[in-house]
Every structure is written in structure tokens, then in C-alpha cells.
Amino acid sequence: MDDLIIVDCQYDFIDGSLACQHSGEAVKYLVDFINAHDVRALYTSDWHKETNKSFKVNGGIWPVHCVAGTHGAAVSDDFAKGIKDAANHPGKENLFLKGQNDDVEEYSAFNGVNAEGKALHEVASSHVYVGGIASEYCVKETVLTLLSSGRSVTLLTDGLGYVSEADHKKALEEMEKLGVELS
């Protein structure tokens, strides 16, 4: 069985402080994809402290987002409500947190850790589907680290949210040139 890595489909990226274009549509597409295919869903979450250095108020470039324990940091409940197989709902085994170190900007979810202490790269299959938010940042960096680990990647383009449409298109071109299958 292949895995579907769902990158950062959290409220702050959907309709919150760092809302991205096409995010709501991406979530709906990913829910439908899971229901129609035999895949295991693996979720990633940006999970910051208020003191994270990526925030503008702390000298970074981003607005405050995905602060641990807040509504904005929660994975969209559309997954739990819309996915038929409860094993594919977000939970302690299949939710991998990243961005917990205040001093490191961590776009890739490759080293994200679940509640059991397992890293995403330790459990992901040799072929993965990837979708989520934002295509030109966390999705792209996650895909690049998956590729460098020897995995094959199929990117679900309808399942992507993005900050900038122009940068989104550039990111897709770059990933395709590196061997990512666009679907």
C-alpha cells in the first residue's frame, strides 16, 4: 500500500493568519482521493511555540501561525468528517509534527515526529503521493527530501494550496524536472 503524505492542511493555512490560495479545494480533493484509493494517510503539521524565530514579531518573515495547541494549528476536521475509513483520520500514529525548534526554519516534514516518537521518514513507503499546503514551501521541501531518500513521489496537483500562483507553477516545474510525477 502506498502512502499519501498530507502536508500542513491546518486552519491557519486554510482560512487563518497565513491563508493560502486553493487550500479549501485542496483539502476536499485529498479527502476524495483517500476515499477512492487504497492509501494510508500520513499527516504533517507545522507546530510552533509563540517564540518561533520564523514569526515577524520575532525577527522572521511570517505572521504568527500554527502555534501549538491553538485552533489555527489543528488539522482541518474535514478529514475526520469526510474520510470513510477511521484508520485514515488524523491521530497520534499518523500525525507528524515539525517546526518545534524555535531556531530552525523547518519546511520539510521528512523529520517530523509523531506522538510515538517515530519520524515520517521511518514509516513512509517507497512510493508516496503528496498533497497539501503550501506547494512552493513545505510541500516542495518535503518532496525534495523524499526524493533524496530514494523514494518515488507522485504529486497530486489538485490537492495543493499555495501562497503565490506564479511561485506554485515554478515549484511544480522544478519538482517535475527532478523526477516527480505530476497527477
pLDDT of residue 105: 85
pLDDT of residue 99: 94
Q: What is the band of 183 on the pLDDT scale with cuts at 50, 70, 90?
A: very high
Q: DSSP of 56-73, one letter per residue?
A: GGGTSSB-S--BTTSGGG
Total number of domains constituting the chain: 1
Which residue range(s) make up the domain with 116? Answer: 2-182
Cell 495543493 sits on residue? 160
Mean pLDDT, rounded, for 107-134: 98
pLDDT of residue 149: 98
| CA distances to 58, 64, 95, 137, 147 from 180, in Å | 35, 31, 24, 16, 8
pLDDT (tens digit, 9 = 90+) per residue, 54-82? 999 999 999 999 999 999 999 999 999 99
Domain holding 96: CATH number?
3.40.50.850
**How many Cβ atoms are within 10 Å of 157's Cβ, its own excluded?**
15
Q: The whole model's pTM is what?
A: 0.97
